[in-house]
Structure 1
Amino acid sequence: MPEHVLVPMDRSEQSRTALAFALDEHPDATITLLHIIDVGNLAKYGDEGYFFSDDFVDQLRQRGRELLEENRKQAMERVDGVEIETELRMGSPARTITEYIDTHDVDHVIMGSHGRHGVSRVLIGSVAETVTRRSPVPVTIVR
């Protein structure tokens, strides 16, 4: 049985389904909810930092914290006594998830799939697919 399960969270139904699956399958594990602000979507402005204002980045951080807290509360209501931790990071989603696995003794990752197919999957790539290929621990993809 895993002792530490990582559930990457975004605003999708798939990530909420992944959290529900993690709670059902591993209610005794510590579950960490990880939200990543994708810096690839924040255009760089030379060496000065991000094109977007500091206020905008602060708003993204606040929205991320709210998302994590909302899901943490719902998880605690669903499973009495479950241990839920939250982490907010900035970076490339797949890279940030695999780095988190490597540095935080994660035993298992449960994440949602966005169900891209065909050309969009080839051109855009899949965070879930990349994490699955690079992860040193088991990864469960939930649809």
Structure 2
Amino acid sequence: MTDCVLVPVDGSPAAQSAAEYASEQFPDDSLTLLYVIIPMVDYSRKRAYPGYTQDDEFSNEREKGEHILGTTRETLPDEVSVVTEIEAGNPAQTIIRYAETNDVSQIVIGSHGKQGIARFLLGSVSETVVRRSPVPVTVVRPTE
């Protein structure tokens, strides 16, 4: 039986590096590429564009996620088993919840390497996942 390795992706170089690392280090396991849609609190565009709704925004984000998942999948070796998923919510909480409820054995996550004030203001998804994950986490920096 193969293990499930969760790889959150967002289209960034860091996420791409994490997916490549996971496919190299866990070639016999199933990789789950997870894209998280961050719900928008203020749909101000709705006011600017009559007829634009939250459903439109969610649909646009889902299409973006499908594109990112497809692009990431195409870069991985064909022999690697890959499943793609899209969830909505706070990224760190969604990744942790997915790991808890889907028999994930390992998380491989990219790190953008934010430091200083950017890290303080924005937080770090990878740091939160490391601290709260129920399974081992490998953090991968983007290859340059």
Q: Give the TM-score of the pair, scaled to structure 2.
A: 0.86
The corresponding residue for 2:54 is 53
- 1:1-143 equivalences under 5 Å are 3-39=3-39, 42-44=40-42, 52-75=53-76, 79-143=77-141
Per-residue deviation, residues 63-110 of structure 1 (Å, max 9, x unmatched): 1112112212321xxx24211000001100000000000000101000
The corresponding residue for 1:48 is none
Per-residue deviation, residues 101-130 of structure 1 (Å, max 9, x unmatched): 000010100010011111221221100000
The corresponding residue for 2:46 is none
Per-residue deviation, residues 10-34 of structure 1 (Å, max 9, x unmatched): 0100000000100110100000000
| Alpha-carbon shift at residue 52 of structure 1 (Å) | 4.9
Report the AA paired with residue 71 of structure 1: T
Report the AA paired with residue 62 of structure 1: E
Report the AA paired with residue 121 of structure 1: R
CA-based RMSD: 1.6
Tell me the SS of whatever aligns to 2:75: helix
Report the AA paired with residue 12 of structure 1: S
Provide the aligned length of Structure 1 versus Structure 2. Answer: 132
| Distance (Å, rounded) in 2 between the aligned partners of 1:63 and 1:118 | 30
| Distance (Å, rounded) in 2 between the aligned partners of 1:96 and 1:120 | 22
* Sequence identity percentage: 43
| Distance (Å, rounded) in 2 between the aligned partners of 1:52 and 1:67 | 23
| Distance (Å, rounded) in 1 between the aligned partners of 2:64 and 2:37 | 10
Q: Give the TM-score of the pair, scaled to structure 1.
A: 0.86
| Distance (Å, rounded) in 2 between the aligned partners of 1:94 and 1:74 | 25
| Distance (Å, rounded) in 2 between the aligned partners of 1:128 and 1:88 | 18
